[in-house]
Amino acid sequence: SYELTQPPSVSVSPGQTSSITCSGDNLGDKYASWYQQKPGQSPVLVIYQDNKRPSGIPERFSGSNSGNTATLTISGTQAMDEADYYCQAWGISAGVFGGGTKLTVL
């Protein structure tokens, strides 16, 4: 079955750039999406089709996808960005999520 791998945690200082990676076999040949989830809330789509932002998502969120790795980048990370982030792609016959990355803004 297809698997996506994320680092369990990433820490960043306020105002700095944070990067969260998602790895999978030939992931660059698929569309990658990213979701933000805060405690007690449903996930929110922040990036789709590798690098597109839904309406209402701040410009500081961006994405890329090439080779085996998709990356979510948050420029000028703010305290409100502290959350769990999940990547997602389409596997062999079903959707797949990464294991999630906890972003801590110190």
Q: Which residues of the shown chain bind another protein in the complex (CB under 8 A)?
A: 1, 30-31, 33, 35, 37, 42-45, 48-49, 54, 86, 88-90, 92-100
Which CB, 17 or 22, lies closer to another protein?
22
Between the alpha carbon of residue 1 and those of residues 27, 48, 98, the distances in Å are: 14, 22, 13
Phi, psi of 80 (to 5 degrees): -70, -10
Which CB, 50 or 81, lies closer to another protein?
50
Tell me how far apart the alpha carbons of residues 47 and 54 are, in angstroms, rounded to a whole number: 7
Closest separation in Å from C-beta 64 to another protein: 16
